[in-house]
Amino acid sequence: MTAALTVIGLVPWLLMTTAGVALMATGRHLPFGFPRGIRPGLRLRLSGLVYVVVGVSYVLLVVQAGVMHLDALVGTYLFLAAMLFYTVRQERAAAS
């Protein structure tokens, strides 16, 4: 059971780390995430670096501890849902 919670909990962090690597490599907008107001280039690459550092550090902490607690799992997915809601709302406001 705890291994399944750990894998489920690490998925968003691994996706965030992958998105950070893509931002660092290209410096261009991804199809999701950042608002369009940020110009491509150095700022997006720095944001990608932050994504990578935070994602890798969290994954390493969970791997070293060997377990992900249920409250951290719920918090991770609540944060992900809140950021997704905020991004969609900003995109709709910009489109109208």
- pLDDT tens, residue by residue, 71-92: 777 887 888 788 778 777 877 7
**Nearest CA among 64, 82, 62 for reference residue 5:** 62
Q: What is the pTM of this model?
A: 0.63
Long-range contacts (CB closer than 8 Å, 24 or more residues apart) made by 88-91: 90/35, 91/35
Pick the residue with more confidence: 16 or 28? 16
- If DSSP codes are grouped into helix, strand and coil, which group holds residue 57? helix
- If DSSP codes are grouped into helix, strand and coil, which group holds residue 11? helix
Alpha-carbon Rg for the chain in angstroms: 15
Residue 29 banded pLDDT, cuts 50, 70, 90: low
pLDDT at residue 5 is higher than 80: no
